[in-house]
Amino acid sequence: MTIDAAELQRRTAELLAAHPPATTDRLDFLKARFDAGLAWVHYPQGLGGLGAPRSLQVVVDAELEAAGAPDNDPRRIGIGLGMAAPTILKYGTEEQKQRFLRPLWVGEEVWCQLFSEPGAGSDLAALGTRAVRESGGDWVVNGQKVWTSSAHVARWAILIARTDPDLPKHAGITYFLCDMTDPGVEVRPLRQVTGEAEFNEVFLTDVRIPDAHRLGEVGDGWRVAQTTLNNERVAIGGMRLPREGGMIGPVSGTWRERPELRTHDLHQRLLKLWVEAEVARLTAERLRQQLVAGQPGPEGAGMKLAFARLNQEISGLEVELLGAEGLLYDDWTMRRPELVDFTGREAGYRYLRSKGNSIEGGTSEVLLNIVAERVLGLPSEPRTDKDVAWKDLAR
Amino acid sequence: MSAQPDLLYSEEEEALRAAVRDLLADHCDAPGVIARTESDAPHDLAAWKALSDGMGLAGLLVPESLGGQGATHREVAVVLEELGRAVAPVPYLTSAVVATEALLALGDEELLGRLASGRSIGALAVGLHTAPGAAVQAVHVEGGLLQGELSGIADAAAADVLLVPADDGGLYAVDASAVTITPQVSLDLTRPLATLTFADAPGRRLGDAEPAVRRGLRAGAGLLASEQLGLAEWALTETVRYLKERKQFNRPVGGFQAIKHRLAQLWLEVVNLRAVARGAADALASGEDADLAVAVAQAYAAGVAVHAAEEALQLHAGIGMTWEHPIHLYLKRAKADSIAYGSAGAHRTAVAELVDLRAP
């Protein structure tokens, strides 16, 4: 049968009737929602979905929100939802899908991503972490990863490692699911400019990964990783922001409440940024409407760029607006938060943290290349490393 | 906060776009527009006739009962995108939008019918630079006869009827044949300005000028964003096409990263402009939040259109600097549009009032 909006509403009502949110344990409700196929409706039946159009998820979400149902805390499990899950769905064995997707979605198991390395950031395929297969079939992994959000709370990781250094760099990589509780996995906090350690370094020393936790074919890891990375960048597309919903909110509020801080120069700059924030909000809203209408466009590729620049400019202005108070900072304590929380902190934190917005998830420079090549069809960058074995590349 | 504006295009709107684009491909090629700007008759009245007589587009905003199409600003916006893309020298924005909206505020059925059919072209006799709500120049009126001079009036050279603010607070309809219309040397050759001289010109009082002028200019400013979108899209598309073919240093110029980043940046701006122009058109159609939507659109749009035209010129290099290449038409239109119906700065000041972000 085809699943349309009316059918989804019917099934959502059924779920709510059988598991009233007011009297049902949070985790039990989420498991029931998963089992009813209302977790991510575009996933297959039995894996939290119904094979319905992805765009109809908003129908379910709206009904459940109106009924006061708990959500699965999507920000906390964002890496699992946005990166691990679509990759497991596309490349996983039946056993892997059954084992991992449900605890991932309900939030029992948090995921992190072991991709970037000290020498392999934007040039991710240059990575040097080695996975060597033993005669028994297990893999033994050695290397160092970096910029790993949530590693300190994660139960599982998606990992890419080099399995054949004699091949060119994109060809010799394999994709694994790594148990973060295994001996040999060491997570060290990496303190940032904000004073916090929101992400980590991860050291892998003789970590044993069973071959059953390999995702995709040996040597096919780069292609598998593309699924992960493409999904990372679409995550921003579906959101709905109210006017002044982003960083322009606090600075506009300060402007209204504290006339003594106002200057003509700041007024001109604030108005320009207010307009740009409103324009970006409309662009995000238009993208959302396109997705709902089943007409996804390439616009999502630009949203991250736009928000990164705006966050940085607005938070920079906010510190200036505060004048003498802008010279202060709320708290330099080294904490290890599970989430990035822009609004729970003060202007100085927002200014410093927003510097990461043009780096995390692909630098703005790399994203501009992607827009130019994939959207505008301009020629790609010249490549000198294409046919050279990884072990022979200059490092 | 009100409901979200509908920012997409409907199937009907896409069909309308395709029809207008076809028509302009036949009527309005760039060499023809350039040649026309050098003649005594810069307006393309054949294209105007095809748009108004042939397709009924001059009456989109006019109710069917008055001989119009009873459509909305959303459809008009699509027409203006295509007119901007072709930098078409037709008085569509000035007659079918600004003059028509002013008349809709006053309810003059006879004139609305004439403008809707395209039989007559109307022009609001207010300087093109004027922002919605700004003070306007008026002529002296006594006993229904108008005296004085107004300048900077767009498309007046093509107009049959002029809507003229007078010093008694009224808006008067004046037959163009009763006025001396002197062309000015305009920056934008495709939307030329003129000076109007009134010497005992007979006029018919239509009603109060202030609300009618304000409504006309607000619709003009809001829908100008769609013209700016079409213009910017042409500049981006044409520049990308050219730079995929043009080779220097044995590579397509579009393969150099410095160039790629500039074009990607421009693409982002055009994507934003599309959202904000749709937002303004939808808000004008629904009446929801229209003052703010128009001010936001005009605070943003001019910069993008000018940037797109300037990038097109620079990235075409020498050829972009020539008279025979059409980029200059787009640059002149974009720069003039950045002043038309209020500058970005004037609209930012309006935003400050509307969202309570007051000056020191």
User: How sure is the predictor about A361, in pLDDT bands with cuts at 50, 70 and 90?
Assistant: confident
| Residues A205 and A231 occupy one common structural domain | no
Q: Is A267 on the interface with B (CB under 8 A)?
A: yes
Contacts of A300 in chain B (CB under 8 A): none
Q: Are A379 and B6 a contacting pair at CB < 8 A?
A: no
Looking at residue A292, its amino acid is: V
Q: What string of DSSP letters covers A23-54?
A: TS-HHHHHHHHHHTT-SSTTSPBTTTB-S--G
| Residues A165 and A279 occupy one common structural domain | no
Q: Which pLDDT tens digit goes with each residue over A102-126?
A: 999 999 999 999 999 998 988 899 9
Mean pLDDT confidence for B337-355 = 98
| Residues A212 and A230 occupy one common structural domain | no
Mean pLDDT confidence for B335-342 = 98
Question: Angle A280-A281-A284 (CA atoms, 0-180°, nearest 5)?
Answer: 85
Name the packing angle between helices A57-66 and A5-18 (round to 10°): 40
Q: Are A363 and A122 in contact (CB under 8 A)?
A: yes
| Residues A154 and A38 occupy one common structural domain | no
Q: Report if residue B2 sits inside a domain.
A: no
Nearest CB to A368 within list B265, B351, B356? B265
Q: What string of DSSP letters covers B301-340?
A: HHHHHHHHHHHHHHHHGGGGGSSSSTHHHHHHHHHHHTTT
| Residues B335 and B223 occupy one common structural domain | yes
| Residues B220 and B275 occupy one common structural domain | yes
| Residues A241 and A192 occupy one common structural domain | no
Please state, rounded to an integer, the average pLDDT across all residues of chain B.
97
Nearest CB to B8 within list A240, A280, A289? A289
Mean pLDDT confidence for A158-183 = 97
| Residues B150 and B238 occupy one common structural domain | no
pLDDT of res. A234? 53
Nearest CB to A369 within list B252, B260, B349? B260
Q: Are A262 and B360 a contacting pair at CB < 8 A?
A: yes
Q: Are B240 and A378 a contacting pair at CB < 8 A?
A: yes
Mean pLDDT confidence for A247-256 = 96
Distance CA A347, CA B135 (A): 41
pLDDT of res. A237? 46
Contacts of A375 in chain B (CB under 8 A): 264, 267
Q: Is A302 on the interface with B (CB under 8 A)?
A: yes
Interface of chain B toward chain A, CB-CB under 8 angstroms: 1, 4-8, 240, 243-244, 251-252, 254-255, 257, 259-261, 263-265, 267-268, 271-272, 274-276, 278-279, 296, 299-300, 348-349, 351-352, 355-360
| Residues B192 and B222 occupy one common structural domain | no
Pairing of strands B193-208, B247-248: unpaired
| Residues B202 and B284 occupy one common structural domain | no
A257 is catalytic: no
User: How sure is the predictor about A83, in pLDDT bands with cuts at 50, 70 and 90?
Assistant: very high
**Percent of chain A at pLDDT exceeding 90:** 78
User: How sure is the predictor about B1, in pLDDT bands with cuts at 50, 70 and 90?
Assistant: very low
Mean pLDDT confidence for A224-240 = 71
Residue A50 has pLDDT above 80, yes or no: yes
Query: What's B218's domain CATH number?
Result: 1.20.140.10
Query: Which of B177, B207, B237 lies at the terminal end of a domain, its last residue?
Result: B207
Q: Are A379 and B348 a contacting pair at CB < 8 A?
A: no
Nearest CB to A372 within list B1, B261, B272? B261
Q: Which domain holds residue A255?
A: 225-376
Q: Which pLDDT tens digit goes with each residue over B173-215?
A: 999 999 999 999 999 999 999 999 999 999 999 999 999 999 9
Rg (CA), chain B: 20
Distance CA A280, CA A290 (A): 15
Q: Report if residue B1 sits inside a domain.
A: no
Q: Are B296 and A369 a contacting pair at CB < 8 A?
A: no
Could you tell me which of B88, B96, B63, B341 has the C-alpha nearest to residue B220?
B341
Q: Report if residue A91 sits inside a domain.
A: no
Which residue in chain A is spatially nearest to B359 when comparing CA positions? A267
Nearest CB to B264 within list A276, A286, A368? A368
pLDDT of res. A181? 97
Q: Is A280 on the interface with B (CB under 8 A)?
A: yes
Query: What's B24's domain CATH number?
Result: 1.10.540.10
Q: Report if residue B294 sits inside a domain.
A: yes
pLDDT of res. B344? 98
Q: Are A225 and A110 in contact (CB under 8 A)?
A: no
Q: Are A365 and B261 a contacting pair at CB < 8 A?
A: yes
The conformation of residue B166, written as its DSSP 8-state character, comes to B
pLDDT of res. B2? 47
Q: Are A293 and B348 a contacting pair at CB < 8 A?
A: no
Contacts of A264 in chain B (CB under 8 A): 359-360
Query: Which of B158, B185, B207 lies at the terminal end of a domain, its last residue?
Result: B207
Q: Are B356 and A256 a contacting pair at CB < 8 A?
A: yes
Min CA distance, A81 vs chain B (Å)? 27
Q: Is A378 on the interface with B (CB under 8 A)?
A: yes
Q: Which pLDDT tens digit goes with each residue over B6-48?
A: 999 999 999 999 999 999 999 999 999 999 999 989 999 999 9
Q: Are A56 and A5 in contact (CB under 8 A)?
A: yes
Residues 6+ apart with CB under 8 A from A42: A49, A51, A52, A53, A54, A56, A57
Higher pLDDT, B352 or A292: B352
Out of A63, A196, A232, A318, pick the active-site residue. Answer: A232
Residue A101 has pLDDT above 60, yes or no: yes
Please list, residue by residue across A158-185, b when 16 or more beta carbons sit within 10 angstroms of its beta carbon and e when fewer do. Answer: bbbbbbbeebbbbbbbbbbbbbbeeeeb
Residue A288 has pLDDT above 90, yes or no: no
Mean pLDDT confidence for A58-67 = 91
Q: Are A246 and A307 in contact (CB under 8 A)?
A: yes
| Residues A333 and A354 occupy one common structural domain | yes
Residues 6+ apart with CB under 8 A from A148: A112, A113, A114, A116, A157, A187, A199, A200, A201, A202
pLDDT of res. A238? 53
For A174, phi then psi, to 5°, come to -130, 150
User: How sure is the predictor about B250, in pLDDT bands with cuts at 50, 70 and 90?
Assistant: very high
- The burial of B175, by beta-carbon neighbours within 10 Å (0-12 exposed, 13-18 middle, 19 or more buried), is given as middle
Which residue in chain B is spatially nearest to A252 when comparing CA positions? B357
Q: Give the total number of structural domains in chain B.
A: 3
| Residues A285 and A233 occupy one common structural domain | yes
Please state, rounded to an integer, the average pLDDT across all residues of chain A.
92
For A272, phi then psi, to 5°, come to -60, -45
**pTM for the whole structure:** 0.92
Nearest CB to B267 within list A243, A290, A375? A375
Contacts of B237 in chain A (CB under 8 A): none
Q: Is A32 on the interface with B (CB under 8 A)?
A: no
Q: Are B268 and A377 a contacting pair at CB < 8 A?
A: no
| Residues A163 and A293 occupy one common structural domain | no
Could you tell me which of B338, B345, B274, B215 has the C-alpha nearest to residue B80?
B274
Which residue in chain B is spatially nearest to A262 when comparing CA positions? B360
Q: Is the ipTM of this complex over 0.85?
A: yes
Residue A88 has pLDDT above 90, yes or no: yes
User: How sure is the predictor about A233, in pLDDT bands with cuts at 50, 70 and 90?
Assistant: low
pLDDT of res. A219? 96
Residue A301 has pLDDT above 80, yes or no: no
Q: Are B87 and B81 in contact (CB under 8 A)?
A: no
Q: Are A108 and A73 in contact (CB under 8 A)?
A: no
| Residues B344 and B233 occupy one common structural domain | yes
Query: What's A290's domain CATH number?
Result: 1.20.140.10
Q: Which domain holds residue B36?
A: 11-120
Helix, strand or coil, per DSSP, at residue B203 = strand
